[in-house]
Structure 1
Amino acid sequence: MQRSAPRPPLRFSTQTLLLQVAVVLLVVLLSAAVHAWLTYDRVGSEAENQALTLARTVASDPSVREDVLAISRQPGTPPPAELAAGPLMREAEAARVRTGALFVVITDETGLRLAHPDPERLGEKVSTDPTEALAGREVTTRNTGTLGPSAGAKVPVYSPDSTAVVGEVSVGYSMETVGQSVARDIGPVAVTAAGALLAGVLGSFLLRRRLQRLTLGLEPEEISMLVHDQVAVLQGVDDGVIGISADGRISVFNAAAQRLLDLPDLAGTRWEDAPVPDQLKSLTRPGPAGTDALEIVAGGRVLVANARKALHRREDLGWVVMLRDRTELQELTRQLDAVGTMSTALRAQRHEFANQLHTLAGFMSIGQHHQAREYLSRLAATGPLKFPVEQAELLQDPYLQAFVGAKGVEADERGVALRIGPETLVRGQVTEAQDVTTVLGNLIDNAVNAAVAGSAEDRWVELEVLDAPGDDGGTLHVVVADSGDGLAEGTDAEAVFAEGFTTATGPLSRNVRAGGGQGFGLALARQLARRRGGDVTVLDPGSRGGPGAVFMATLPHTTAGSHTAKIPGVTGKDNDG
């Protein structure tokens, strides 16, 4: 026998709708029941009060009191026929007919009926306990007698000339009449309850629709899984991710974004009020933003940022801003450029060395041994290789010598002479090669660009480096001057450190494409220096025709004594100073 496939469970929104409808139905039914009970009790109480009033009226009638006293004094009780034709029967029936009561019963002091709507019941004991009334107390009751269920009252009948109780009057109104009254009143209650139930069902349906819209039709299990996946992905990637909701608040600010921007978690902050670079905010503003990448400098890093609009079907979910760290890539690019430059220089020097060997071979082949010895002596005195940086020996650190030498070869190829100033003296060794390379390389590159773009015929860049010892590491002071035309007239000295500014072309467009790498050297150099407790400043803005601008950088804790510091990856003897 083939088993049928199990039914899929109801969706959460459907379960919520059914639960809400059940709750509304239960509340309406309970409210209607309570209202009906209160109405029934109220109408019953009104019937009791009405019965009490009528009983008092009949019991206080002087003729009734005299007639009851007269019968009580007789030995025994008159026969039913006599009672039916007596005055008490007429008084009781007149009151019952006049008020619409179910019964008006009059008894003697022993509880025997002297007046009753059913003549056959006359002379019999009343069906309900008359003790309270015969004891002189008025009571209201709800009970079932010979005429059916009723709400009534019992009142004692006193002797005309004393306070002695000679009988009691019992009046009752039919509970069926009370039920009919309740039924008349319950109609509006039922209509109101039905309206409330309909409104509750409609509200539950609308709430279900809104819940589906807010959860994008996802079940709670799916939402929980998405949250776990989001946390795992966003906190596990190296790229910074910033999510901006449609209402302009930051909804996601992952750990990588906090690290790259050097900021705490900004989730919940308004995007326009967030302490992030203004270039990032411009990506999400109206316009062509989000189509190109944007390079910014933040937290001592060069970042590439782009923004994309987030859409789900036709619903606008906001923006997603991605941040990628290009600092290490730029460092590797500079190192690769330096290696390429040194390779070019070595190839040229290899060619020169080959020519020198050919010269020696020529002397030996023609027997000019004396000339060969003199030629070798001159080579030993001057060195076989040419280094295009004057006074490079003042940089006793081998790392600085190699780096400045590579920059000198590169500058020489562009027609710029890189020279070391006479005030230069570095006796220690560099311990923070990456920061020193970044700051020094950017200053030299900017100076070379300015010298090439300048109007002076003699193009040069002069570098002065001085290290000052300290207890926790020496401070490296760097001064770079060039032969360019200096800063443009009216340019603020602080403006050159803004992102997107270059000494060659002035302010650049904010929408620099990734990989351009222009306009960020000075900004990055200053941020790195300030992060170490130093700074990069403009000493002299320069003048047109030269000399050009003069920049100074201070890099604390970047050198150590020549006998105590070693630079990873650099071999050779330590300098004595």
Structure 2
Amino acid sequence: MVVLVPTEITTPAITVDRKDAMRPARSTASRVFLVLIAAAVVVGALVAVFLVVDAQRATHTEAERVTAATAVTLAASPLVVETLRDLDPDDATRTLEPYALDVVAGASLDFVTIMLPDGTRITHPDVDRIGERYLGTIPDRPVAHTEVFTGTLGPSVRTIVPVRTADDELIGWVSAGVTIESISETLVRRLPLSIGITVGLIALGVLGALVARRVTRRIAGDLPPGQVRDAVASYESLRTLGDALRAQTHEHGNRMHTAVALIELGRSGEAIEILTETSRQSQSLVDQVTARRAGDPAVGALLLGKASQAKERGIDWHVRIEPETPKSPLTPVESVAVLGNLIDNAMDAASLADDRWVRVTLEAADAGGIVLEVSDSGPGVAPELRERIFAQGFSTKPAGAQGRGVGLALVHSVVLGAGGTVEVSSGPTTFRVVLPPPRGATKQ
């Protein structure tokens, strides 16, 4: 049996500019920390804006409620009704002005204006304004009305209410108001609570960011995101390559044991036939791999091993490698991770079909890069899931010892990181990876 033995998988040395070397990449843990801190600050700022806006709205609503309640109460006061009905304006002012000032002080208002039906003021905080016409809206009908209006004291929230006798005769109006300046002062007094809540939220966010950084550092150490992905790719490469080689070794062992047993039974012809068939199947794939000018031994070993896995699972295995396929821009580790995960998914899908087969094609792209296609006879990927299958953590399989939702996400990350594309189509289900030529390579 001809076995393609992989060479040691190493990552090529990377030449780093001296300036870049002086600026080490920020670790994944630090990036997670900074992102969470930024999120906490943004959330805190949004909460602060919401609290301020809500406090402003609440203060304005409270001013409307207080002015309306005060005006209604005064309009129903027997003193106000009797004074406006029985006395002349001068006597009404002497009677009602002190009363209005007491109400202003007790209700924390800025003014209470009592006036005649035509709007002539009977009372006012500024005695020089008494006798002048009320500045504000006087309803055409005897109904209460609340508004924001700029009067002698500046912009204010005010409510005007009709004063009527028992016979429902309109004998005057009562207006109570709070200036916008007073409302703003009330709002300022409420700001410390909003600031305290915002600071508390940001503090909790910082605490959460510290915990997240510690957890991330335990998992990823001080590696930057790119090296974390490379570490995952290395793990996936070793896993899938190890599985493939174990399957190849297992199949080879079974055939050897069978051949030995046949020889012991004196049936050497059948033993030779089994060994010859094994050699012929392996040699076909070896010829395709070695015929490629820029072949990768690790990928060849992976394909040989996967062929054994396919046979164990009763899956027809088809591989076509064009000799003119150029060198891959991926490292051996990345190549094994991408190809291995795509083949693993294809085999899992094909296992669900009655007609089980997997086909792998590797050929040159029109632009000088590489086209890798892995097809299977499985049930396919639902159209609504084609975008989600490349998301980290997404999987249609139950969680197991190998993790969940890592393979296709890693394939997507590695391919996009190399400047390539990965797509999935149906009829049959085919994952198509297009990789650009390596840097510095030109199309022949």
TM-score, normalised relative to structure 1: 0.39
Q: Relative CO higher for 1 or 2, CA cutoff 8 Å, sep ≥ 6?
A: 2
Structure having the larger proportion of residues in strand? 1
TM-score, normalised relative to structure 2: 0.49
